[in-house]
Amino acid sequence: MNLRWRPTPVLNFDQRQLPGRYTVEKWEPIRAEWKPIARGIPDTTYRVRDLPKVPDHVFRVRMDTELPDLGEPSLPVSFSRYRGNTIVRFDFA
């Protein structure tokens, strides 16, 4: 499955001056927590591999920077095998 998202809007900063990478997190319903599945992603896409064969998956993305308070996560986005989705898009608001 391919995840795609738009870059994080950062007010008052030039993106070239604000190096950032992304972390993709997956919701673990049994533990009721978000689990990082990939860190240090330099681009706005990530290919998720080896997903368990359960009907639904929920993901979110956060930006990792050295500056505080800029790493708020995206809203969660769900994927359902029953809907046949292969690409999930995230929009940071």
Task: List CB contacts of 34: < 8 A, sequence separation 6 or more.
Answer: 25, 26, 27, 28, 60, 73
Q: Is the pLDDT of residue 92 over 50?
A: no
**Is pLDDT above 90 for 37?**
yes
pLDDT cut 70: percent of the chain above it? 61
| Contact indicator for 50, 1 with CB cutoff of 8 Å | no
Confidence check: pLDDT of 77 > 90: no
CB-based contact 70:8 (threshold 8 Å):
yes
What average pLDDT does this structure show over 1-6? 86
Task: Kindly tell me if the per-residue pLDDT of 59 is higher than 60.
Answer: yes
CA–CA gap between residue 74 and residue 52 (Å, rounded): 23
Q: Whole-prediction pTM value? A: 0.69
pLDDT at 69: 56
Strand segments, DSSP code E, in 6-69 are: 21-28, 33-41, 45-47, 56-64
Domain ranges for the chain, please list them. 2-11+19-90
Quick one: fold of 2-11+19-90? Immunoglobulin-like (2.60.40)
| The pLDDT of residue 15 is above 50 | yes
